[in-house]
Amino acid sequence: MAKKKRDVRKFKQVFTDLLREIAQEETEFVDVPDEEGTVCVNGVTYDKKIVMKAERLARELFKAALGYEVVTKGKHGDVVEYIPPDKWAIGLLFDRLEGKAGTVNAADKRTTASVAERVSEVSVKALNKMANDANSQ
Protein backbone atom coordinates (compact mmCIF):
# COMPACT_ATOMS: atom_id res chain seq x y z
CA MET A 1 0.00 0.00 0.00
CA ALA A 2 2.79 2.45 0.92
CA LYS A 3 4.64 1.59 -2.31
CA LYS A 4 1.55 2.41 -4.36
CA LYS A 5 1.20 5.84 -2.72
CA ARG A 6 4.90 6.51 -3.27
CA ASP A 7 4.55 5.54 -6.96
CA VAL A 8 1.56 7.86 -7.39
CA ARG A 9 3.46 10.75 -5.76
CA LYS A 10 6.47 10.07 -7.97
CA PHE A 11 4.27 9.99 -11.09
CA LYS A 12 2.63 13.30 -10.11
CA GLN A 13 6.04 14.92 -9.58
CA VAL A 14 7.40 13.64 -12.90
CA PHE A 15 4.23 14.77 -14.66
CA THR A 16 4.44 18.24 -13.07
CA ASP A 17 8.12 18.53 -14.02
CA LEU A 18 7.27 17.63 -17.63
CA LEU A 19 4.45 20.18 -17.72
CA ARG A 20 6.82 22.89 -16.48
CA GLU A 21 9.44 21.90 -19.04
CA ILE A 22 6.93 21.91 -21.91
CA ALA A 23 5.48 25.24 -20.70
CA GLN A 24 8.88 26.86 -21.26
CA GLU A 25 9.04 25.86 -24.96
CA GLU A 26 8.75 28.83 -27.30
CA THR A 27 6.40 27.43 -29.93
CA GLU A 28 3.23 29.51 -29.69
CA PHE A 29 2.28 32.56 -31.75
CA VAL A 30 0.23 35.40 -30.29
CA ASP A 31 -0.98 38.75 -31.60
CA VAL A 32 0.67 41.66 -29.78
CA PRO A 33 0.01 45.38 -30.37
CA ASP A 34 2.72 46.91 -32.54
CA GLU A 35 3.06 50.17 -34.49
CA GLU A 36 4.41 48.37 -37.57
CA GLY A 37 2.16 45.32 -37.24
CA THR A 38 0.71 43.21 -39.96
CA VAL A 39 -2.74 42.33 -38.59
CA CYS A 40 -5.52 44.88 -38.04
CA VAL A 41 -8.47 43.91 -35.81
CA ASN A 42 -11.11 46.47 -34.79
CA GLY A 43 -8.79 49.34 -35.73
CA VAL A 44 -5.86 48.05 -33.62
CA THR A 45 -2.75 46.87 -35.42
CA TYR A 46 -1.10 43.67 -34.19
CA ASP A 47 2.05 41.74 -34.98
CA LYS A 48 2.78 38.04 -34.51
CA LYS A 49 5.20 37.17 -31.72
CA ILE A 50 6.51 33.75 -30.70
CA VAL A 51 6.13 33.05 -26.98
CA MET A 52 6.32 30.22 -24.48
CA LYS A 53 3.32 27.94 -24.03
CA ALA A 54 2.95 29.23 -20.46
CA GLU A 55 2.64 32.82 -21.70
CA ARG A 56 0.08 31.79 -24.30
CA LEU A 57 -2.01 30.07 -21.61
CA ALA A 58 -1.72 33.14 -19.36
CA ARG A 59 -2.92 35.36 -22.24
CA GLU A 60 -5.86 33.02 -22.90
CA LEU A 61 -6.74 33.09 -19.20
CA PHE A 62 -6.74 36.90 -19.16
CA LYS A 63 -8.79 36.91 -22.37
CA ALA A 64 -11.41 34.67 -20.74
CA ALA A 65 -11.44 36.79 -17.58
CA LEU A 66 -11.84 40.09 -19.44
CA GLY A 67 -14.23 38.99 -22.17
CA TYR A 68 -13.59 39.36 -25.88
CA GLU A 69 -15.19 39.80 -29.30
CA VAL A 70 -15.41 37.19 -32.04
CA VAL A 71 -15.81 38.48 -35.60
CA THR A 72 -17.31 36.06 -38.12
CA LYS A 73 -18.27 36.50 -41.74
CA GLY A 74 -22.02 36.64 -42.28
CA LYS A 75 -24.31 36.95 -45.29
CA HIS A 76 -24.69 40.69 -44.72
CA GLY A 77 -21.15 41.50 -43.58
CA ASP A 78 -19.13 40.85 -40.47
CA VAL A 79 -20.98 39.70 -37.35
CA VAL A 80 -19.44 40.69 -34.02
CA GLU A 81 -20.30 38.50 -31.05
CA TYR A 82 -19.23 39.58 -27.56
CA ILE A 83 -18.13 36.77 -25.26
CA PRO A 84 -18.65 37.94 -21.64
CA PRO A 85 -16.05 37.40 -18.91
CA ASP A 86 -15.98 33.94 -17.29
CA LYS A 87 -16.32 33.80 -13.51
CA TRP A 88 -13.98 30.82 -13.21
CA ALA A 89 -11.19 32.70 -15.01
CA ILE A 90 -11.63 35.80 -12.86
CA GLY A 91 -11.54 33.68 -9.69
CA LEU A 92 -8.47 31.78 -10.85
CA LEU A 93 -6.63 35.00 -11.68
CA PHE A 94 -7.47 36.58 -8.33
CA ASP A 95 -6.34 33.47 -6.48
CA ARG A 96 -3.09 33.27 -8.43
CA LEU A 97 -2.33 36.98 -8.12
CA GLU A 98 -2.90 36.77 -4.36
CA GLY A 99 -0.53 33.82 -4.13
CA LYS A 100 -3.12 31.11 -3.54
CA ALA A 101 -2.46 27.85 -5.36
CA GLY A 102 -5.31 26.40 -7.37
CA THR A 103 -6.55 22.88 -6.78
CA VAL A 104 -6.92 20.33 -9.51
CA ASN A 105 -7.76 17.31 -7.39
CA ALA A 106 -11.45 16.37 -7.29
CA ALA A 107 -11.10 15.44 -3.61
CA ASP A 108 -10.00 19.01 -2.78
CA LYS A 109 -13.31 20.65 -3.67
CA ARG A 110 -14.43 23.31 -1.22
CA THR A 111 -17.26 22.60 1.15
CA THR A 112 -18.61 26.15 1.43
CA ALA A 113 -20.80 27.68 -1.24
CA SER A 114 -19.56 30.61 -3.32
CA VAL A 115 -21.24 33.99 -3.18
CA ALA A 116 -23.07 33.32 -6.46
CA GLU A 117 -24.34 29.97 -5.18
CA ARG A 118 -25.55 31.53 -1.92
CA VAL A 119 -27.35 34.32 -3.80
CA SER A 120 -28.97 31.70 -6.04
CA GLU A 121 -30.12 29.72 -2.99
CA VAL A 122 -31.64 32.83 -1.41
CA SER A 123 -33.43 33.67 -4.67
CA VAL A 124 -34.84 30.13 -4.97
CA LYS A 125 -36.10 30.26 -1.38
CA ALA A 126 -37.74 33.65 -1.99
CA LEU A 127 -39.43 32.42 -5.19
CA ASN A 128 -40.65 29.25 -3.47
CA LYS A 129 -42.05 31.33 -0.60
CA MET A 130 -43.90 33.58 -3.07
CA ALA A 131 -45.29 30.53 -4.89
CA ASN A 132 -46.45 28.94 -1.63
CA ASP A 133 -48.08 32.20 -0.52
CA ALA A 134 -49.88 32.48 -3.88
CA ASN A 135 -51.10 28.86 -3.66
CA SER A 136 -52.41 29.29 -0.09
CA GLN A 137 -54.63 32.23 -1.07
pLDDT in tens, 72-123: 888 888 888 999 999 988 888 888 887 776 555 545 555 566 656 665 776 7
Residue 37 CB partners (closer than 8 Å, separation 6+): 45, 46, 47
- At 84 the pLDDT is 93
Beta strands of 4-136 (E only): which ranges? 26-33, 39-41, 44-52, 68-74, 77-83
pTM, two decimals, is: 0.52
User: Of 33, 24, 97, which Cα lies nearest the Cα of 62?
Assistant: 97
- At 82 the pLDDT is 92
Q: How confident is the model over 51-69, as a mean pLDDT?
A: 87
Write the pLDDT tens digit of every residue in 22-47.
878 888 777 776 665 555 556 566 67
Contact 31, 41 (CB under 8 A): yes
- Mean pLDDT score across all residues of the chain: 76
pLDDT higher than 80, residue 61: yes
- At 104 the pLDDT is 55
Which has more confidence, 12 or 62?
Answer: 62
